[in-house]
């Protein structure tokens, strides 16, 4: 599917919004809806995910491992 005639507005560091001719056009036509979660894959594609909890747990594990690597124990 190719979407044309839409505007992408972005706020650096905060996110972006795809806008059509009306405030809800993009959501009404099914591109996304409130509560949707997307993950960017290696190819740059936004892929819809219903695994938010698993994703957050994986992120926390990775963050803790990175912190442990940066601050090794001196004991």
- Higher model confidence: residue 56 or residue 1? 56
Domain boundaries, the chain: 1-32, 35-75
Q: Mean pLDDT over all residues of the chain?
A: 84
Strand pairing partners for 11?
Answer: 15
Rg (CA), the chain: 18
pLDDT band at 14 (very low <50, low <70, confident <90, very high): confident
Q: Is the pTM of this model over 0.85?
A: no
What token pair was written down for 49?
């995910």
* φ/ψ (deg, to 5) at 67: -65, -40
User: For residue 75, what pLDDT is reported?
Assistant: 52
CA 64 from centre of chain: 21
Please name the residues in contact with 47: beta carbons below 8 A apart, sequence gap of 6 or more.
38, 39, 40, 41
- Identify each DSSP E strand in 1-75 by its residue range: 7-11, 15-19, 37-40, 46-49
């Amino acid at each position: 599917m190719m979407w044309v005639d839409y505007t992408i507005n972005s706020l650096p560091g905060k996110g972006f919004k795809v806008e059509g001719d009306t405030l809800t056009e993009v959501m009404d036509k099914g591109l996304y809806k409130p509560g949707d979660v997307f993950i960017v894959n290696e190819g740059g594609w936004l892929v819809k995910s219903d695994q938010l909890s698993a994703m957050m747990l994986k992120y926390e594990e990775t963050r803790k491992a990175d912190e442990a690597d940066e601050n090794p124990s001196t004991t």
